[in-house]
């Protein structure tokens, strides 16, 4: 099985404070990795580093994505190469419609990959198919990007982008926060049914019952910048019984 992402001995800082400490993680194609942990453990830092946020300084370590050095890529190149980050708090852009934003993003990736760009009618047909999967209305495309949207609509808009861009590595940073049960079900089922077979997921969440909708291959507990436990569904059950406090008491020295 091919490595999609390989993180080796990563040490990351923000404003001179170390967040990730000798962090290691390997993700192969078609895997689902759930990352959980107490607040401040480094979960969101990991997602932002992978996306190329300029605030974070890497002082040691490597990140290899699809056999390329990720740390040498700009955020735009990372996106075009197949990394997608769905934000916990998606930004609003007044005056830019969802349709225009999505079509530009899609065609920029097509241009980077030297593939056919879609004209407005072709792209509308592609987008309509994705809207149906997410149970979203067409008029949603004519509104300014995320402006005046509820939390649930903003999250669905992130997943709409994901479906259209067809990334290799999908990073979901607490995308289930603030959503009701019905919205969570729609989003997770859309992801599970429509992600490419060779793509992989990193899901950062505080919601253990995500396993009701997805079948994770790996579950990691992150604390103080390191993965302290990795397991399967049994680890979720143990977490629900003992909480992070119980798991941390038994962490390896």
Is 119 part of any domain? no
- Does residue 204 lie in a domain region? yes
The pTM (predicted TM-score) of the whole model is 0.89
Cα-based torsion angle of the residue sequence 172, 177, 181, 183 in order, rounded to the nearest 10 degrees: -60
Residue 39 in any domain: the answer is yes
Q: 213 in a domain, yes or no?
A: yes
Segments forming the whole domain that contains residue 78: 3-89+151-226
pLDDT at position 250 is 63
Predicted confidence (pLDDT) per residue in 127-151, tens digit: 998 898 888 888 888 888 877 777 7
Query: Is 197 inside a domain boundary?
Result: yes
Q: How many domains does the chain have?
A: 1
Residue 157 forms part of a structural domain: yes
Coil vs helix vs strand at 193 = helix
Structure-token match 């920029």, residue found: 108
Does residue 80 sit within a domain? yes
Write the CATH number for 187. Answer: 3.40.50.300
**Is 16 inside any structural domain?**
yes
Tell me the pLDDT tens digit for each residue of 52-104. 999 999 999 999 999 999 999 999 999 999 999 987 777 778 888 999 999 99
Whole-angstrom distance, CA of residue 82 vs CA of residue 96: 24
């Amino acid at each position: 099985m091919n490595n999609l992402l390989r993180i080796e001995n990563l040490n990351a800082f923000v404003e001179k404070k170390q967040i990730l400490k000798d962090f290691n993680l390997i993700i192969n194609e078609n895997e689902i990795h759930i990352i959980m942990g107490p607040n401040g453990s480094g979960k969101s830092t990991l997602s932002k580093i992978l996306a190329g946020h300029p605030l974070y300084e890497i002082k040691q370590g490597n990140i290899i994505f699809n056999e390329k050095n990720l740390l040498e890529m700009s955020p735009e190149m990372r996106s075009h190469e197949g990394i997608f980050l769905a934000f916990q708090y998606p930004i609003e852009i007044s005056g830019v419609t969802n349709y225009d934003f999505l079509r530009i993003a899609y065609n920029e990736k097509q241009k980077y990959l030297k593939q056919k760009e879609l004209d407005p009618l072709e792209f509308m047909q592609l987008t309509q198919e994705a809207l149906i999967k997410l149970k979203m209305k067409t008029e949603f495309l004519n509104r300014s990007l995320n402006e005046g949207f509820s939390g649930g609509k903003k999250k669905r808009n992130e997943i709409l982008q994901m479906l259209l861009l067809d990334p290799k590595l999908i990073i979901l940073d607490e995308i289930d926060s603030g959503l009701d049960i019905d919205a969570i079900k729609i989003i997770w089922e859309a992801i599970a049914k429509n992600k490419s077979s060779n793509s992989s997921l990193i899901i950062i969440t505080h919601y253990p019952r995500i396993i009701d909708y997805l079948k994770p291959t790996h579950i990691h507990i992150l604390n103080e910048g390191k993965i302290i436990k990795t397991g399967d569904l049994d680890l979720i059950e143990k977490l629900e019984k003992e909480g992070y406090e119980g798991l941390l008491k038994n962490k390896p020295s």
